Amino acid sequence: MSDTLTIKDNRTGKEYDVDIVDGNISAMQLRQIKVQDDDFGMMSYDPGYLNTASCTSRITDLHGSKGILRYRGYPIEQLAAKSNFLDVVYLLFNGELPNKTESQAWAERITHHTMLHEKTKKLMSGFNYDAHPMGVFISTVAALSTFYPESKDVDDAEVRMLQACRLIGKTPTIASYAYRNSRGLPYIYPDNELSYTGNFLNMMYRMVEPRYQAHPALERALDVLFILHADHEQNCSTSAMRNIASSKADPYVSVAGAAAALYGPSHGGANEAVLNMLREIGDIKNVPAYVDKCKDGELRLMGFGHRVYKNYDPRARIVKDVADEVFEVTGKNPLIDVAMELERIALEDEYFVKRNLYPNVDFYSGLIYEAMGFPMEAFTVLFAIPRTAGWLSQWMELMDDPEFRITRPRQNYQGQGARDVPDGYAS
């Protein structure tokens, strides 16, 4: 039995057999469907890409209805429990987890790239003290393109890997410099003896002590959060990365563009929006009235709902456990009670049940970040640092894809037909 789909065009009575490959049909096969020979041919129409596979990928496997997320086949729960962020980056980039020797060499390789060019500091100090950290992050990552002109050789796999390692090494440094700048604090250089997240916390928080040692539980909690945020297949920012990189733009400007897509409150900006929402609610007693406003369509319950998950986001479950571990060290974030009440009421409410709206990864992460001392505006940067690994692995996969093409969607034009510019229309 051949895997084909027969389409009958009731306008003409003609039938077409189109191939089914991996459960999909290629939209290009629809082009043969025409009424007149000189027609353009049929296209598929899918605003928001609700049902369009934009690429073939072997990186992240996501089953939204079952709440399953796997990187290169490994369940997210196991990676969070047994691995560390840099090993997960290795896995995303190379397809396999590193052995002990590879893991050490990899950590050293990334660590080698944690420093920023001194001129980057000058650039960053030009921002106002109240500049949003995501604006600073996006601009600085884009500016790295000017320091590494060889990065334009995107067809060379070695050049690509070098830029990818640079970006993984440098994003925490950029994020911490942005924070220090906003507080008028001196920049702290990386300490390469520390772990990836240990060094990040050092660059964020070190004051006059000769050496900063983060609490091991917080260092590990941040590492787990980074693992959870590392990749999430073809989401808005990753699609932006692939779109930009498909024109063969260099990875710095491409990552900056992806980070810009992440910034929006419907995507990575949701963690900041959740905290704003919890503060606005303020007290458990105000939760029912707030939920009613969401049901009336007046507001959205931030940190709830997902385009792909129609079940509990598996990352949110892990984040909830991490929150307990962090609060044991930092003390409980008082807003956690509001969040838990919000979750309890929403999960029992018909509106949310009917629409399969569950907490997503952003629902609890902001509470953890706040307890760890991160300012609210920096939360999306804490998403962007680990997601850089996902963007880069998807970029490297794209550049080696035999089906590589520049992204160029079609449109359904319904505007004016041809008409003449009136004589003397302008004053």
Give the C-alpha separation, 218 to 224, whole Å: 10
Helix (H, G, I), strand (E, B) or coil at 101: helix
Catalytic residue among 306, 324, 400, 420: 306
Least distance to ligand CMC, CB of residue 95, Å: 23
* DSSP single-letter state for residue 304: B
Does residue number 385 form part of the binding site for ligand CMC (CB under 6 A)? no
Q: Which phi-psi region, left, alpha or beta, contains residue 217 (left: φ > 0; alpha: ψ -120 to 50)? A: alpha
* Cα dihedral across residues 382, 277, 373, 204: positive or negative: positive
Is 324 among the catalytic positions?
Answer: no
Task: Determine if 80 is a binding residue for ligand CMC (CB under 6 A).
Answer: no
* Angle between the N-to-C axes of helices 85-94 and 216-229, in degrees from 0 to 180, rounded to the nearest 10: 20
Closest residue to ligand CMC: CB criterion: 305
306 belongs to the catalytic site: yes
Residue 34 in contact with residue 19, Cβ under 8 Å? no
CA distance 283 to 336: 10
x/- letters, 303..332, toward ligand CMC (CB under 6 A): xxxxx-------------------------
Q: Which residue stretch of 1-9, 146-154, 187-195, 294-302 sits at the interface with ligand CMC (rule: CB under 6 A)?
A: 294-302
Beta bridge partners of 19: 4
Give least dist CB 394 to ligand CMC, A: 14
Instruction: Rank residues 350 and 420 by Cβ distance to ligand CMC and give the closer one.
Output: 350
Q: Does 225 bind ligand CMC (CB under 6 A)?
A: no
Q: Binder to ligand CMC among 124, 168, 261, 357 (CB under 6 A)?
A: 357
Angle made by CA atoms 52, 57, 63, in degrees to the nearest 5: 65
CB of 294 to ligand CMC, least distance (A): 4
Question: Segment near ligand CMC (CB under 6 A), from 65-73, 141-149, 280-288, 354-362?
Answer: 354-362
Which residue, among 61, 66, 60, 80, has the nearest Cα to 312 in the 3D structure?
Answer: 66
Q: How far is the CB of 384 from ligand CMC (least distance, A)?
A: 11
Task: Confirm if 319 and 361 have CB atoms less than 8 A apart.
Answer: yes
The residues annotated with a catalytic role in the active site are 267, 306, 362
Q: Which residues bind ligand CMC (CB under 6 A)?
A: 232, 235, 266-268, 270, 294, 300-307, 355, 357, 360-362
